[in-house]
Amino acid sequence: CEHHLDSEGPLPFGSYRLIGDPDFEPKRSCLTTVAIDVMRNAANPFSSKIDFSEIDAFKAVTNMQALIDSGFTSFQIANPISPSGTHRLQKRPVDIDWSEPSSQEVWTESNIYGLLMKNTPSSVTSSCHLTTSINLPNKDYEGPFGKGDFLREIVGQKIERMGVGESIDTVQLCYHEESPYSLDVIDALFEMRREGLIRSITG
């Protein structure tokens, strides 16, 4: 059945798609995305006091490398706002500082994505597609979230933590119907996409 395999990897034909602007070296992405959920059993994934010491980042990266070898090259950080596996739907507390990502996001970007990029040959990671997220604040939030400069700072910090060079493969925008910031944030993200800082945007 080898003639049915995709030329881009060891999965059936049509398992990959091209992501990104043609002007900024678009990448092939596996249509099946693997969620990285390091806080599956955490009571409050937004807490700044979560102990990550029991999480084996090296084992997680080893498992990711095995998936990559099998053709599954797309990964995203599980969003604690949405259900994942046995998660119950969780709402982000209104008293959380929306200018900061969740502790799960920060830790995973630095210790999982960052370690993967550091410990895996660039010839392999060049075929990987890594997704991270930006959460929209609700209507009660007061801050500069919708301004382009603020979002650029967030994206820049993510690029540095993830160790991905000059751009993020995909930013997942977590939409909230009551948020008044949607259009401002989308406009700023698309501007960064045109500049090559972000390859693609999803929701």
pLDDT at 163: 92
pLDDT at 134: 83
pLDDT at 105: 86
pTM score of the predicted model: 0.77
pLDDT at 22: 67
Distance CA 98, CA 96 (A): 6
DSSP state of 112: I
pLDDT digits (tens, 9 = 90+) for 32-58: 888 888 765 555 555 555 677 878 899
Distance CA 77, CA 170 (A): 11
Single-letter amino acid code for the residue at 159: I
Distance CA 117, CA 121 (A): 8
Class of domain 2-202 as given by CATH: alpha beta
DSSP state of 47: -
- In terms of average pLDDT, the best of 69-78, 82-91, 98-107 is 69-78
pLDDT at 4: 46
pLDDT digits (tens, 9 = 90+) for 89-124: 344 555 555 556 777 888 899 999 999 999 999 988
